[in-house]
C-alpha cells in the first residue's frame, strides 16, 4: 500500500463530534486554575523555609532573624549578652562570664567574641609609640571572622571575611593591634580574669624557661622542657607549652602555627616585625575547603538555575552567622521549570478531579484489560495516582484514559461520550461493527434509520469500508484480535479470493500496528512522566543537600571561631618573666603533634609554616 492510499483516507479523520472529548481531556492539561500552580510551588517553598527555620532554631536563631532590620537589632549588646550568658559555659569555662561582658554574643550560636577593645585602648596604643595605630582600625584587630559576625548582612564584609580566612595562611601580625589586644590594661576583664595583676608575682615555671601563664597556670601547666626538641638556634626563644593535664587544646591540629589563625593579615601597612612569610594555620585546609565549597556553592547556584539574587542569598545565608535568609521565593526547589509545570499540572488535577474522577477510575480498569496486547499499566496507573499528589498529571490521566486502546470501545471511560468518539479505530464497539458488517444498506427503513446508517457508515474505518466492499465475511475485530491459529482457521473456513486474503492480512496488520502504536505512545508518555518524577526527586535531593551543605559550612565556621577564641584566651594569658604579655607579632602558639602547645618565635613559626605549605604542594605534583 502506498502513501497515495492515505490521501484517500476518508475514515481516518476525526468525526466532528469527537473533538469535544479531546478538548475536554486536553483541557486538563492546559487549564490551570488560578490558585493552584503558584500555591503548590509556594507551599513547597514554605516547607523549605520551615525546615531551614527549624534548623536555625536548633542553632539559636529565631525566625525574626530573617528580617534584616531585626538582624541589626541583634547587635544590641544587652540582648547578645543575655544569650551569651546562657551558652558561654559551652566553651569558655571559668572567667568567661566576666569576659562575656566585653564580648559580643552570636545571636545564633551563643558564641562570645570580643566586641570591642577596652575603652582605654587608644591610650594603650599611645603607650606603644612604635606600634601606634589609627583607632579606626582597631576593630579590625581581631580576626575577620569575629567582625564578620557582627555585621552578618554586610555581604561585602562577609566576603572579605572569608577571604581573610583564606589568607590566614599568609597571616601577618599587626604589631600594634597585637599589642593592644594582648596588653590588656589592669581594668580589663581579660586581664583581670586571665592574668595576674601587674604586681602579682609571676608564676614562673622554671622548666618553662621564659614563659609563664599568669593566673591560670594551674589550668594551663603548659610548659615543659621541650625546648631541646627545637632547633638550637632558636631554642633560647622557644617557649614550649606542654599541657601537663590534658588541655582543651586538641592535638588534632598537628604541629601547626596557631598564631596565623588569629591575627589578621596586613590589616594595614604599618610595620610588621615578622612580616613576610605565609603561615599555615591549623584550619587552613578546612578554610580552603570551606572557601572552595562556598565558591562552588555559588557556581552551583549559578550554573544550575539559581539566578544571581538567589545565589547571593544562598551565599548570604552561608555568610550570615545566625541568619538563614533563604527567601521562600528563592527556594532551590522552586527553581525548576519542570517542577513549575508539574505543579501547574497538579493544580489542574486537583481542580478537575471531580469531573475526571470517573474517567480516572475507568482508565485504571481499562488498563487492566490490556493484557491481550501485553502492555499492562496497572502498576503505572497506581504510580500515576500516587504521582498525582506529588507531581500532578491529571492531564496524562486523561490521555491514558483516552489511550485505553485495548478496550473495544475507545471511549469506554466516558460511556456517555462513547458514541461521539472519532473512529479511525478498528476497535469499534461491537454494535457498530455489526451494524457495519451485517445489515445491507437497503435493509433499513428510510428516515431516521437512514441517518443512523449514515452515522454508522461514518463511524466505520477505512479498512472496514474496504472489508465491506470486498464482502469480507467476518468482522474486522475478529481479523485483528484473533490469535494466529484461530485467525488461520477462520480464513480456512471461507473460500476467499486472493484480493480478499490480501485485504484481510492488511487489515490485521494495520489493526495490530495501530494498537501497537497506541501502546507505544502510551509507553512514551509514561516514560516521560517517570522521568519528570525522577527529575523532581533529584531536585528535591539537591535542595536538601544544599541545605545540609550550608549547615555544615556554618558549623565549621562556628568551630573556627571557637578555636580562635581559645587561642586568644591562651595567648593572652601568657606572661614572660617580667609579667608582660607576649607580643603576637613576635611569638605564636603552635600545636605539636603530641598534643603539646609551644610558644615559639614568629620567625621560626614562619619558617615551619613555609615548610608545611610546601609539602602539600609537592604532593600534588
Rounded to whole angstroms, how far apart are CA atoms 198 and 214?
A: 10
Query: Residue 457: which of 472, 468, 447, 470 has the closest Cα?
Result: 468
Kindly compute the dihedral angle of the four CA atoms of residues 311, 314, 319, 323, in this order, to the nearest 10 degrees. Answer: 140
Per CB under 7 A, does 370 bind DNA?
Answer: no
Least gap, CB of 354 to DNA (angstroms): 21
Rounded to whole angstroms, how far apart are CA atoms 15 and 13?
A: 6
Least gap, CB of 21 to DNA (angstroms): 8
Kindly compute the dihedral angle of the four CA atoms of residues 5, 10, 11, 16, in this order, to the nearest 10 degrees. Answer: 150
* Residue among 493, 524, 611, 615 that touches DNA (CB under 7 A): 524
Window 409-448: contact mask with DNA (x via CB under 7 A): -x-----------xxxxx----------------------
Per CB under 7 A, does 486 bind DNA?
Answer: no
Query: CB-wise, 3 or 619, nearer to DNA?
Result: 3
Which cell goes with 606?
614562619
Number of amino acids touching DNA (CB under 7 A) = 52
Applying CB under 7 A, the span of 10-18, 115-123, 273-281, 378-386 interacting with DNA comes to: 10-18
Per CB under 7 A, does 26 bind DNA?
Answer: yes
Cβ 70 vs Cβ 169: under 8 Å: no
Angle at 317 between CA 305 and CA 167, to 5 degrees: 100
Least gap, CB of 358 to DNA (angstroms): 18
DSSP state of 170: B
Per CB under 7 A, does 15 bind DNA?
Answer: yes
Rounded to whole angstroms, how far apart are CA atoms 258 and 598?
A: 10
Per CB under 7 A, does 7 bind DNA?
Answer: yes
Query: Residue 318: which of 171, 161, 541 has the closest Cα?
Result: 161
Query: CB-wise, 109 or 406, nearer to DNA?
Result: 406
Per CB under 7 A, does 9 bind DNA?
Answer: yes
Per CB under 7 A, does 149 bind DNA?
Answer: no
Query: CB-wise, 347 or 423, nearer to DNA?
Result: 423
Cβ 103 vs Cβ 83: under 8 Å: no
Cβ 61 vs Cβ 324: under 8 Å: yes
Cβ 364 vs Cβ 376: under 8 Å: no
Cβ 589 vs Cβ 597: under 8 Å: yes
Query: CB-wise, 9 or 54, nearer to DNA?
Result: 9
Per CB under 7 A, does 98 bind DNA?
Answer: no
Per CB under 7 A, does 28 bind DNA?
Answer: no
Applying CB under 7 A, the span of 66-74, 210-218, 226-234, 517-525 interacting with DNA comes to: 517-525
In 3-state terms, what secondary structure has residue 359?
Answer: helix
Kindly compute the dihedral angle of the four CA atoms of residues 278, 284, 285, 287, in this order, to the nearest 10 degrees. Answer: -130
Strand residue runs (E) in 56-132: 103-105, 112-114
Query: Residue 539: which of 332, 307, 311 has the closest Cα?
Result: 332
Query: CB-wise, 19 or 611, nearer to DNA?
Result: 19
Per CB under 7 A, does 547 bind DNA?
Answer: no
Per CB under 7 A, does 519 bind DNA?
Answer: yes
Per CB under 7 A, does 523 bind DNA?
Answer: yes
Query: In this structure, how many other beta carbons lie within 10 angstroms of the beta carbon of residue 23?
Result: 10
Per CB under 7 A, does 338 bind DNA?
Answer: no
Per CB under 7 A, does 521 bind DNA?
Answer: yes
Please, what's the b/e burial string for 118-150 (b: 16 or more CB within 10 A of its CB; e: otherwise)?
A: beebbebbeeeeebbbeeebbbbbbbbbbbbbb
Query: CB-wise, 302 or 491, nearer to DNA?
Result: 491
Query: CB-wise, 165 or 403, nearer to DNA?
Result: 403
Per CB under 7 A, does 492 bind DNA?
Answer: no
Query: CB-wise, 260 or 410, nearer to DNA?
Result: 410
Applying CB under 7 A, the span of 76-84, 188-196, 360-368, 511-519 interacting with DNA comes to: 511-519
DSSP states along 295-321:
HHHHHHHHHTT--HHHHHHHHHHHH-S
Residues 285-304 that bind DNA (CB under 7 A): none
Applying CB under 7 A, the span of 18-26, 52-60, 321-329, 545-553 interacting with DNA comes to: 18-26
Per CB under 7 A, does 461 bind DNA?
Answer: yes
3-state helix, strand, coil in the chain (%, to 5): 60, 5, 35
Query: CB-wise, 526 or 551, nearer to DNA?
Result: 526
In 3-state terms, what secondary structure has residue 548?
Answer: helix
When computed from its CA atoms, the radius of gyration of the chain, rounded to whole angstroms, is 40
Per CB under 7 A, does 616 bind DNA?
Answer: no
DSSP states along 563-594:
HHHHHHHHHHHEE-TTSPBPPTTTEEEEE-TT
Kindly compute the dihedral angle of the four CA atoms of residues 33, 35, 41, 43, in this order, to the nearest 10 degrees. Answer: -140
Least gap, CB of 554 to DNA (angstroms): 45
Least gap, CB of 517 to DNA (angstroms): 3
Least gap, CB of 464 to DNA (angstroms): 9
Least gap, CB of 477 to DNA (angstroms): 13
Query: CB-wise, 23 or 200, nearer to DNA?
Result: 23
Applying CB under 7 A, the span of 74-82, 236-244, 508-516, 573-581 interacting with DNA comes to: 508-516
Cβ 572 vs Cβ 190: under 8 Å: yes
Query: Residue 274: which of 605, 616, 614 has the closest Cα?
Result: 605
* Residue among 41, 170, 287, 403 that touches DNA (CB under 7 A): 403
* Residue among 484, 492, 498, 618 that touches DNA (CB under 7 A): 484
Per CB under 7 A, does 516 bind DNA?
Answer: yes
Rounded to whole angstroms, how far apart are CA atoms 327 and 310?
A: 8
* Residue among 431, 502, 513, 555 that touches DNA (CB under 7 A): 513
* Residue among 506, 559, 586, 612 that touches DNA (CB under 7 A): 506
Query: CB-wise, 53 or 426, nearer to DNA?
Result: 426
Q: Can you give the binding site for DNA, defined by CB under 7 A?
A: 1-3, 5-7, 9, 12-19, 22-23, 26, 29, 373-375, 399, 402-403, 405, 410, 422-426, 461-463, 484, 487, 506, 509-514, 516-521, 523-524
Amino acid at each position: 500500500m502506498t502513501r497515495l492510499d492515505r490521501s484517500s483516507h476518508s475514515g481516518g479523520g476525526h468525526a466532528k463530534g469527537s473533538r469535544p472529548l479531546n478538548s475536554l481531556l486536553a483541557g486538563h492539561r492546559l487549564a490551570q486554575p488560578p490558585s493552584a500552580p503558584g500555591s503548590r510551588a509556594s507551599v513547597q517553598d514554605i516547607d523549605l523555609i520551615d525546615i531551614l527555620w527549624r534548623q536555625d532554631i536548633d542553632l539559636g536563631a529565631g525566625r525574626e532573624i530573617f528580617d534584616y532590620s531585626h538582624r541589626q537589632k541583634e547587635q544590641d549588646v544587652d540582648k547578645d549578652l543575655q544569650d551569651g550568658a546562657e551558652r558561654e559555659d559551652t566553651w569558655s569555662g571559668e572567667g568567661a562570664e566576666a569576659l562575656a561582658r566585653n564580648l559580643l554574643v552570636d545571636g545564633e550560636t551563643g558564641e562570645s567574641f570580643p566586641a570591642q577593645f577596652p575603652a582605654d585602648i587608644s591610650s594603650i596604643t599611645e603607650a606603644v609609640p612604635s606600634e601606634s595605630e589609627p583607632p579606626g582600625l582597631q576593630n579590625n584587630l581581631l580576626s575577620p571572622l569575629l567582625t564578620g559576625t557582627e555585621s552578618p548582612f554586610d555581604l561585602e564584609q562577609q566576603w572579605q571575611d572569608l577571604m581573610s580566612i583564606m589568607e590566614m595562611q599568609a597571616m601577618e601580625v599587626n604589631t600594634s593591634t597585637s599589642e593592644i589586644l594582648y596588653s590588656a590594661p589592669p581594668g580589663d576583664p581579660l586581664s583581670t580574669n586571665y592574668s595576674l595583676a601587674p604586681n602579682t608575682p609571676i608564676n614562673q615555671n622554671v622548666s618553662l624557661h621564659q614563659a609563664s601563664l599568669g593566673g591560670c597556670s594551674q589550668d594551663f601547666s603548659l610548659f615543659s622542657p621541650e625546648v631541646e626538641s627545637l632547633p638550637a638556634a632558636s631554642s633560647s626563644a622557644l617557649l614550649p607549652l606542654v599541657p601537663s593535664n590534658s588541655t582543651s587544646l586538641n592535638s588534632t591540629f598537628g604541629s601547626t602555627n596557631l598564631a596565623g589563625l588569629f591575627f589578621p593579615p596586613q590589616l594595614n601597612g604599618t610595620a610588621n616585625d615578622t612580616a613576610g612569610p605565609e603561615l599555615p594555620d591549623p584550619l587552613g585546609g578546612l578554610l580552603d575547603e570551606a572557601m572552595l565549597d562556598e565558591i562552588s556553592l555559588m557556581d552551583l547556584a549559578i550554573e544550575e538555575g539559581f539566578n544571581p539574587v538567589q545565589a547571593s542569598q544562598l551565599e548570604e545565608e552561608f555568610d550570615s552567622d545566625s541568619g538563614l535568609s533563604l527567601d521562600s521565593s528563592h527556594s532551590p526547589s522552586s527553581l525548576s521549570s519542570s517542577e513549575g509545570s508539574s505543579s501547574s499540572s497538579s493544580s489542574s488535577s486537583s481542580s478537575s478531579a471531580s469531573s475526571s474522577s470517573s474517567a480516572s477510575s475507568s482508565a485504571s480498569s481499562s488498563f487492566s484489560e490490556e493484557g491481550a496486547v501485553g502492555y499492562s499499566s496497572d502498576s503505572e496507573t497506581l504510580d500515576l495516582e500516587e504521582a498525582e499528589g506529588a507531581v500532578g498529571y491529571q492531564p496524562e490521566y486523561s490521555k491514558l484514559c483516552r489511550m485505553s486502546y485495548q478496550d473495544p470501545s475507545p471511549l469506554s471511560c466516558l460511556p456517555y461520550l462513547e458514541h461521539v468518539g472519532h473512529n479511525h479505530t478498528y476497535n469499534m464497539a461491537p454494535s457498530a461493527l455489526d451494524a457495519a458488517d451485517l445489515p445491507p444498506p437497503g435493509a433499513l427503513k428510510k428516515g431516521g434509520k437512514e441517518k443512523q446508517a449514515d452515522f454508522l457508515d461514518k463511524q466505520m474505518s477505512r479498512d472496514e469500508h474496504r472489508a465491506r466492499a470486498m464482502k469480507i465475511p467476518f468482522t474486522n475485530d475478529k481479523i485483528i484480535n484473533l490469535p494466529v491459529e484461530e485467525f488461520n482457521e477462520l480464513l480456512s473456513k471461507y473460500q476467499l479470493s486472493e484480493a480478499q486474503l490480501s485485504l484481510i492480512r492488511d487489515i490485521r496488520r494495520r489493526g495490530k500496528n495501530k494498537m501497537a502504536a497506541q501502546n507505544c505512545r502510551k509507553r512514551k508518555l509514561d516514560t516521560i512522566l517517570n522521568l519528570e518524577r525522577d527529575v523532581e526527586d533529584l531536585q528535591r535531593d539537591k535542595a536538601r543537600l544544599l541545605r545540609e551543605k550550608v549547615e555544615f559550612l556554618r558549623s565549621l565556621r562556628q568551630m573556627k571561631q571557637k578555636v580562635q577564641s581559645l587561642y586568644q584566651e591562651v595567648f593572652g594569658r601568657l606572661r614572660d618573666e617580667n609579667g608582660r604579655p607576649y607580643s603576637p607579632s613576635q611569638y605564636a602558639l603552635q600545636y605539636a603533634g603530641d598534643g603539646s602547645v609551644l610558644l615559639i618565635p614568629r620567625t621560626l613559626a614562619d619558617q615551619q609554616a613555609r615548610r608545611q605549605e610546601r609539602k602539600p604542594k609537592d604532593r600534588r605534583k
